[in-house]
Amino acid sequence: MGRIIFFVLLAVAAYLVWKSLQRASRRTDPKPPPAATQAMVSCAHCGLHLPQTDALVDGNRYFCSDEHRRLSASA
């Protein structure tokens, strides 16, 4: 009877240690850095919004593609 109680207490202690380690690892996990925000611009031809870094610039106007830049220049 004493052996059964010993192994039950050993199992409970192992479970508590395991749960404690899980909680500690969750607290120390680094959070990902916040995503960098980008300025958004709209295409002067179709109005599509896109990040300024992806846009084509012609003077002070932004375009989503070279085709829209050419179409806007010819219009």
Give the pLDDT confidence of 36-60 residue by residue, as tens digits.
Answer: 788 999 999 999 999 999 999 999 9
Joined together, the tokens standing for residue 17 give 């240690």
Q: Would you place residue 75 in the very low, low, confident or very high pLDDT band (cuts 50, 70, 90)?
A: low
What tens digit of pLDDT does each residue of 8-43 get? Answer: 999 999 999 999 888 877 766 577 777 778 899 999
With 70 as the cut, is the pLDDT of residue 69 above it?
A: yes
Joined together, the tokens standing for residue 23 give 């909680």
3-state helix, strand and coil shares in percent for the chain, rounded to the nearest 5: 50, 15, 30
Q: Would you place residue 72 in the very low, low, confident or very high pLDDT band (cuts 50, 70, 90)?
A: confident
List all residues 6 or more positions away from 31 whose beta carbon is below 8 Å from its beta carbon: none
Tell me how far apart the alpha carbons of residues 19 and 10 are, in angstroms, rounded to a whole number: 14
